[in-house]
């Protein structure tokens, strides 16, 4: 099977998808933004052909590249796994009649207001939301729904670019900074949901879920990405099968996939448990970020990259999730912006919990820090596992209390 894979180099785990395709016997052509000469030795070995484009999100450039590849060989699939690439690739896929994710499904997974309109009509409980093209429309939404609200890009992922608004004064400041009245500019406006936040990830085959995983955020993402002193974490549960509390999440996920018309793909869905019950937040038709698949692989004795490749190339699953471990990551924030000056408590953590540590990233002294909003893997982090979910959560809390990352201005 001949697979065209979009952008094999960035982020770094993109190469895992290429490796997996090669492992299951695919012939791989890649399209990327760097030159062919910049490919490393492994990538040159794995790829049958490479096409360079200026921007993989440029539909015209991508169409030209894919059409050229098709003129030389039949293409069975055109695949992308990065959020920003999904929509332009789907558009090109339909124009050149390559099977795979439809443009409709990709659009609905990318445009948050349109997504929620479809899901609400299908009976999925969501936060009140709308797409706004003007300041007047934002104010009208507030008059109807009240505070707090969230303003974010229509195609934003997670908390990226999201702003919580609590007052009229904050609203006017957000409207001013958002440049909403520029021609052609639009934002998503949503009711802010109070409740515990988590995510539900799947691999689907022809619209049916064949693998699924659920994780929990501590604390919720928006708060985590705005608050320096917090060492945020997320934990993948190994209690998904049979646990009564997850059956509603599973059923919601199945129905979301059906309503959006997602066929063979990875998905990443965010949800909230609120005082009023389960609420759907959003979905991406791509793998989760923050290398969550690495945690699922450790917790379930499997290789999800290879499993994705099996579904894409051979239309069948080949592995079963063991649910042996809960697994999680904790972000360890520097105490200020600047450069890394040193660490405290790392030896203590390794002494007490070393056999539970999967891996860790502790940037060298002198490394520039990144801002809190840059995410869970922007600075230092540790990933751990344990057979018992509650014990893993206790250990991660202890790691956050023990390890201090010092920085100098």
Q: Annotate 176-216 with DSSP letters as a single string.
A: HHHTTTSTT--EEEEEPPPSEEEEEEEEEETTEEEEEEEEE
Min mean pLDDT across 11-15, 129-133, 227-231, 290-294 is at 129-133
Region 387-402: mean pLDDT is 98
| pLDDT over 60 at 273, yes or no | yes
Instruction: State the pLDDT at residue 155.
Output: 67
Instruction: State percent of the chain over pLDDT 70.
Output: 99
Contact 359, 295 (CB under 8 A): no
DSSP 226: T
Instruction: State the pLDDT at residue 252.
Output: 98
Q: What is the pTM of this model?
A: 0.90
Instruction: State the pLDDT at residue 178.
Output: 74
Length of the chain: 409
Residue 287: which of 266, 270, 309 has the closest Cα? 266
Residues 6+ positions from 199 with CB-CB distance below 8 Å: 214, 215, 217, 234, 268, 269, 270, 271, 288, 292
| pLDDT over 70 at 171, yes or no | yes
Print burial letters for 335-364: b (CB count within 10 Å at least 16), e (below 16): eeeebbbebebbeebeeebeebebebebbe
What is the Cα gyration radius of the chain?
22
CATH topology of domain 325-409: D-amino Acid Aminotransferase; Chain A, domain 1 (3.30.470)
Q: Do domains 128-191 and 325-409 have the same CATH topology?
A: no
Region 304-326: mean pLDDT is 98
Region 316-342: mean pLDDT is 98
Contact 149, 191 (CB under 8 A): yes
Instruction: State the pLDDT at residue 94.
Output: 97
| Spatial separation of the C-alpha atoms in residues 100 and 79, rounded to whole Å | 8
Region 171-188: mean pLDDT is 81
To 5 degrees, how large is the angle CA 320–CA 325–CA 328?
115
> Taking the CB of residue 41, how many other CB atoms lie within 10 A of it?
7
Instruction: State the pLDDT at residue 357.
Output: 98
| pLDDT over 70 at 157, yes or no | no
Q: How confident is residue 150, by pLDDT bands cut at 50, 70 and 90?
A: confident
The class level of CATH for 128-191 reads alpha beta
Residue 318: which of 4, 24, 107 has the closest Cα? 24
| Spatial separation of the C-alpha atoms in residues 86 and 338, rounded to whole Å | 35
User: Is CATH 3.40.30.10 what the domain over 2-100 is classified as, yes or no?
Assistant: no
Q: Where are the domains of the chain?
A: 2-100, 128-191, 325-409
Average pLDDT, the chain: 94
pLDDT, one tens digit per residue, over 10-55 is 899 999 999 999 999 999 999 999 999 999 999 999 999 999 999 9
3-state secondary structure (DSSP) of residue 375? coil
| pLDDT over 90 at 181, yes or no | no
Residues 6+ positions from 331 with CB-CB distance below 8 Å: 224, 231, 232, 233, 375, 376, 377, 378, 379, 380, 381
């Amino acid at each position: 099977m001949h697979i065209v894979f979009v952008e094999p180099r960035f982020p770094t785990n993109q190469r895992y998808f290429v490796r997996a395709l090669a492992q299951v016997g695919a012939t791989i052509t890649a399209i990327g933004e760097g030159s062919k000469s910049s490919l490393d030795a492994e990538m040159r070995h794995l790829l049958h052909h490479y096409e360079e484009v200026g921007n993989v999100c440029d539909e015209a450039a991508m169409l030209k590249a894919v059409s050229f590849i098709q003129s030389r060989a039949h293409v069975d699939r055109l695949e992308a796994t990065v959020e920003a690439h999904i929509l332009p690739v789907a558009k090109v896929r339909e124009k050149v009649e390559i099977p795979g994710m439809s443009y409709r499904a990709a659009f609905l997974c990318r445009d948050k207001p349109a997504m929620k309109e479809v899901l609400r009509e299908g009976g999925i409980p969501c936060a009140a939301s709308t797409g706004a093209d003007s300041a007047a429309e934002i104010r009208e939404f507030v008059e109807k729904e009240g505070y707090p609200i969230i303003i974010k890009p229509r195609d934003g992922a997670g908390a990226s670019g999201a702003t919580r608004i609590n007052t009229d004064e904050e609203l006017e400041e957000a409207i001013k900074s958002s440049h909403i009245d520029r021609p052609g500019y639009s934002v998503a406006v949503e009711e802010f949901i109070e409740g515990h936040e988590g995510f539900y990830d799947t691999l689907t085959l022809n619209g049916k879920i064949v693998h699924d995983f659920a994780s929990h955020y501590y604390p919720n993402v928006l708060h985590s990405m705005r608050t320096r002193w917090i060492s945020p974490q997320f934990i993948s549960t190994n209690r998904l099968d049979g646990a009564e509390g997850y059956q509603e999440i599973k059923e919601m996920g199945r129905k979301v996939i059906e309503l959006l018309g997602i066929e063979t793909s990875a998905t990443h869905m965010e949800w909230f448990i609120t005082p009023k019950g389960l609420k759907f937040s959003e979905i991406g038709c791509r793998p989760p970020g923050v290398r969550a698949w690495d945690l699922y692989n450790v917790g379930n004795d499997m290789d999800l990259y290879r499993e994705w490749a099996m579904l894409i190339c051979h239309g069948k699953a080949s592995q079963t999730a063991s649910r042996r471990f809960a697994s999680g990551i904790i972000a360890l924030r520097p105490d200020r912006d600047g450069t890394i000056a040193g660490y405290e408590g790392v030896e203590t953590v390794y002494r007490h919990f070393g056999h539970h540590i999967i891996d860790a990233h502790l940037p060298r002294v002198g490394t520039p820090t990144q801002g809190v909003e840059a995410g869970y893997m922007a600075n230092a982090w540790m990933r751990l596992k344990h057979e018992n979910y509650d014990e893993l959560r206790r250990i991660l809390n202890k790691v956050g209390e023990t390890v201090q990352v010092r920085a100098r201005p």
